[in-house]
Structure 1
């Protein structure tokens, strides 16, 4: 284990202690125990080390981790909109997610020849989805099922697979850990600032509990975290690290809001109930999934321009 990762583990441990202190202060203010908040904290104690361990070991373990993440999130989404029960779309979706993960693994190996499997597979996969009604000889409800499946492939499959592309970059271990930590800090800081100081609703029609105070609290948290964990991304300058912090501060809440729109439309509070205190897996990973491609292309652009 290199020094940077050891340092990151210590910092993450400190963040957990700070979060525990926040819970204690919040309960002192209200004068009662917040069982939901405690449950969220305990769930995070399991999820964060699991995610970081898969990133650290990389290779097949991380690729399986991303595949399972994309499948479970896609399942929650398709159950939410009422498409998962259709077996043909379910099988096509899982197959397509697997192809996207394989393509993301092969892409760095083939890119030197000018061929990029990660982008090339998108068109045939979408064509396969569009062809399903023809083989089923059924058209009723087709538009909803087609658009839902394509959306799931792009958002939860293609976006998620950028985590593998990021991990396979030179210095990918540090970059992927950096992304996970900054997104997590953004989420915690936004939640804490909103809970303590929230007064002005961000977009009440979509997410009534989100506030401008929470948004800016998350932004401050992202910037501070990006600077604190900059040792994980030595290839980025201080300016680039700051820009990455601001980028994640914007993309992370947008990922959350996109899923909130879907849940609002379906009259659901959570995407599922797999994680105690949090709801569905999608409720906890939407920000990361939305931020992954943005951060990957940001790093790619920085390295291309300043190599």
Structure 2
């Protein structure tokens, strides 16, 4: 029998984060390896969750003169806009591939569908949110464009290196976050952007760059690439983009007085909190693929 004053030990936040990662990472690896239709479904699911999280944040009222947390709006005030965002995201994801689950669909070009999504999401939120309705339109860009990029990267119809490219991106993002966290905690020093993210340091950024460069080195060796040093430099550059993506999401949450986008992933907050860097990196790599007419791994 436990002593009268004893209390059950709480599981540390770090332990919860590790346990969540051990569950989530294998799922991501499996669906990425399987490709269609599983990866399509996975991206659509997470895009829908991110759209809901974005609408949840943008639907909060905040008085800049009041330092207390922003008051949350009733569910009915942001649910409609959130559902509209989800519908638009699904439309854009369909357009990105031209087919989903093996079913061919006739939809608008990507840029047109994205523009329509921004306009509709803004108009849908306008009656309830007035001038802040533009944030819902921006949510379409923030969620849908990276989702399209991930599908583009995984398919890679030109070189057929989609799985290798996606594995490199995922490893790079995880390594950057881990290196930044380890260096930031152990070295400390000047803050990177204290007004946006007080915990980030320049040492952490450097640690993330080094970790990403190591991923580039290992990837180059495994794939037998002729210019490994170029991939290391590119990986280090993408680490900077990854950290910028993290800061952008932090600035958005701070604008509306929220710490986490949701509490869906134990120990990590929401999906947006976990993949903010991945969203930025996926767009950058997809752009390199598009303008380079082939996988980055094939022309480095």
**Alignment correspondent of 1:143:** 131
Q: Distance in 1 between matches of 2:33 and 2:221?
A: 16
Sort the Cα spacing of 1:126 and 1:282 in 2 relative to 1 into closer, same or farther, 3 A.
closer
CA distance in structure 1 between the aligned counterparts of 2:110 and 2:221, rounded to whole angstroms = 29
Whether the aligned pair in 2 keeps the contact of 1:178 and 1:232 (CA below 8 Å) is no
Gaps of 5+ in 2: 1-9, 61-74, 100-106
Q: Distance in 2 between the 1:267 and 1:45 partners? A: 30
**Change beyond 3 A, Cα 1:236–1:99:** farther
Equivalent in the alignment of 1:252? 242
How many angstroms apart in 2 are the aligned matches of 1:81 and 1:130? 11
RMSD across aligned C-alpha pairs, in angstroms? 2.6
Query: What aligned pairs does 1:39-118 form with structure 2 within 5 A after superposition?
Result: 39-82=16-59, 85-106=77-98, 117-118=109-110
Gaps of 5+ in 1: 1-32, 108-114
Q: Specify which of 145, 153, 171 is matched with residue 166 of structure 1.
A: 153
Larger proportion of helix: 1
Secondary structure (helix, strand or coil) at the match of 2:200 reads strand
Aligned mates of 1:230, 1:34 — CA distance in 2: 39
Matches within 5 A, 1:137-286: 139=127, 141-145=129-133, 147-169=134-156, 170-230=160-220, 237-286=227-276
Q: What CA distance in whole angstroms lies between the structure 1 residues aligned with 2:144 and 2:36?
A: 18
Shifted more, 75-84 versus 150-159: the winner is 75-84
Offset, 1:151: 1.0
Q: Which segment drifts farther, 232-241 or 51-60? A: 232-241
Structure 1 residues 139, 282: closer, same or farther in 2, change over 3 A?
A: closer
Q: Which residue of 2 aligns with 1:124?
A: 116
- Picking from 268, 280, 300, the partner of 1:290 is 280
Residues 33-52 of structure 1, C-alpha deviations (whole Å, 9 max, x = no match):
99222221111111111111
SS of residue in 1 equivalent to 2:267: coil
CA deviation profile, 1:111-161 (whole Å, cap 9, x unmatched): xxxx9832332233334335547xxxx74533312x122111101112222
Q: For the residues of structure 1 that align with 2:121 and 2:37, how far apart are their CA atoms?
A: 27
Distance 2:183 2:164 in 1: 28
Contact map agreement 2:180 2:208 (CA 8 A) in 1: yes
Matched residue SS, 1:59: coil
Alignment coverage as a number of residue pairs: 263
Residues 122, 136 of structure 2: 8 Å contact kept: no
Give distance in 2, aligned partners of 1:268 and 1:280: 11
TM norm structure 1: 0.78
